[in-house]
Amino acid sequence: MTTSHTAVEFLAGTEPGLFVDGAWTPGATGETFEVFDPASGRVLATVADAGADDAAAAVTAAAAALPGWAATPGWERYEVLRGAVEAMRKNQDDLAVLICAETGKPLAEARAEARNTVRFFEWFGHETMRLPGQAWSDVAAGRDAVVLQEPVGVVAAITPWNFPGFMVACKVGAALAAGCPVVLKPAEQTPLTALAIAKAFQTAGLPPGVLNVLPTSHPARVGEVLLAHPDVACVSFTGSRRVGELLMREAAATVKRVLLELGGNAPVVVLDDADLDLAVAQLVRARYLNAGQACVAANRVYVVESVAADFVAALTEAVRGLRVGDPLESTSDLGPMIDLAAVERIEAQLAAAVGDGGSLVTGGDRLRSNDVSAYVSPAIVSADGDRQPGVFAEELFGPLLAVVRCRDADEAVQLANATDYGLAGYVFAGSAARGMEIARRLRVGSVGVNCALVSEPQLPFGGVRASGLGRERGRAGVEEFLETKTVQLGR
């Protein structure tokens, strides 16, 4: 892991601090916390631990920066974002190593994330020059009207650990493009990538206070200040349903705009005329990416009876071929999970499934452990549609795939929708028309027909029901950070 240490020093400074009002600071508490490499259990870095006073100082800095950043013409905002993109692109390989080191995801996946992080910032940079507005002449007798889209105000962004760069790009890129300063609280497991991104913005000359980053091992003490502060206009959160609900309640007291990207429990419908080889190849990726720790990960496959045996045989062979190992090795398909708590959760869900009508087809073993985490072999549990284990209605956030045999497409769709979540879903069908018909019936925010989802900056993304509120990415993702003002002009 020598390379990752180099990346930490190079990108975030030898003693990573908080980034507040354009400067690096050790923070008001003087406390620090350690960031671990889940692959080895070793300490990667010691980071300043933000407290309530730091959160208040960051909001004050962001509020002071708001008028200037909001009034900066789109073209000039673009120039700053472009400078940060150039700085990140120059260091993209190091950013990938940092992501790999903090999360334990295989280096190839970390490289893909670093690339996406940079190109999403780039895309949002361009959007600064295309912010919407409307005008009417003669909207009433003797009156014209304009509808302005103004920055909503200071944004508090709270991100998860599973995509520590990409999640920051989706929130910070969109908010900065819209003219909003940001106070970012990254996940305690992965603050270094966020600090590296802040460094790129500092290099690019972002005005002080426009981006502030508060690593902390006490998310509630920072979160409470951000959620209660009258100068924070909007909170954009990605993470678990439990914390999302809590933040929504906290935000109610000051009536903030709340954007929530919460958990998922993505169903997959495999029809009798589907290309099974394609389905297997896509699903293996869609399930076991990041050791199964992705919100859009395929959780449950509903396969119609007539093709179930062939599908399960091909899927099992493919899953047994996956290699679990050190994330820095190019041969590894899965690294460790983020921490032991995550390992224990997925093990408990596997046991619950097997105790409730499911059969273990393969995997689910702890292969190697350290003090921080463990490597788990990719698992499949199968069941019949008329006796589906109750735990399949929960988010399966690890390398466990549920496969359920169904009578027909109708039963598959009914079971696919039998969960509170509605983030992503997938369909494998012999024709686009059949695929589209099922896509319309799935109660989710994004569907892949004959493909796993890919992240493209122009496509809006988000959940329905317990998976969240609002949309991230795409033009819709920028507009979430804009406020509409209607002006009528009498002549």
Query: Residues in the site for ligand NAD, rule: CB under 6 A?
Result: 158-162, 185, 187-188, 219-220, 223, 238-240, 243, 246, 261-264, 295, 395, 397, 423, 463, 468
Residue 255 CB contacts under 8 Å (≥ 6 apart), including other chains: none
Closest CA to 229 of 264, 249, 253, 213: 253
Q: Which is nearer to ligand NAD, 341 or 433 (CB)?
A: 341
Q: Which is nearer to ligand NAD, 115 or 221 (CB)?
A: 221
Active site residue 122: no
Q: Which is nearer to ligand NAD, 206 or 266 (CB)?
A: 266
Q: What's the min distance (Å) between Cβ of 390 and ligand NAD?
A: 19
Q: Which is nearer to ligand NAD, 293 or 382 (CB)?
A: 293
Q: What's the min distance (Å) between Cβ of 437 and ligand NAD?
A: 26
Catalytic residue among 102, 113, 127, 261: 261
Q: What's the min distance (Å) between Cβ of 408 and ligand NAD?
A: 30
Exposure string of 245-272, with b = 16+ CB inside 10 Å and e = fewer, is eebbebbeeeebbbbbbbbbbbbbbbbe
Q: Which is nearer to ligand NAD, 160 or 358 (CB)?
A: 160
Q: What's the min distance (Å) between Cβ of 455 and ligand NAD?
A: 10
Q: Which is nearer to ligand NAD, 338 or 361 (CB)?
A: 338
Give DSSP secondary structure letters for 153-177.
-EEEEE--SSSTTHHHIIIIIHHHH
Q: What's the min distance (Å) between Cβ of 38 and ligand NAD?
A: 13
Residue 336 CB contacts under 8 Å (≥ 6 apart), including other chains: 38, 39, 104, 291, 327, 368, 373, 374, 375
Q: What's the min distance (Å) between Cβ of 159 and ligand NAD?
A: 6
- H helices within 104-190, ranges in order? 107-127, 166-168, 174-178
* Residue 169: half-sphere exposure toward Cβ, Cα within 13 Å: 28
Cβ-proximal residue to ligand NAD, closest one: 223
Angle at alpha carbon of residue 156, lines to 164 and 33, rounded to 5°: 50
The strand pair at 232-238 and 379-384 is best described as: unpaired
Q: Do 477 and 310 form a contact (C-beta atoms < 8 A)?
A: no
What residues are labeled active site? 261
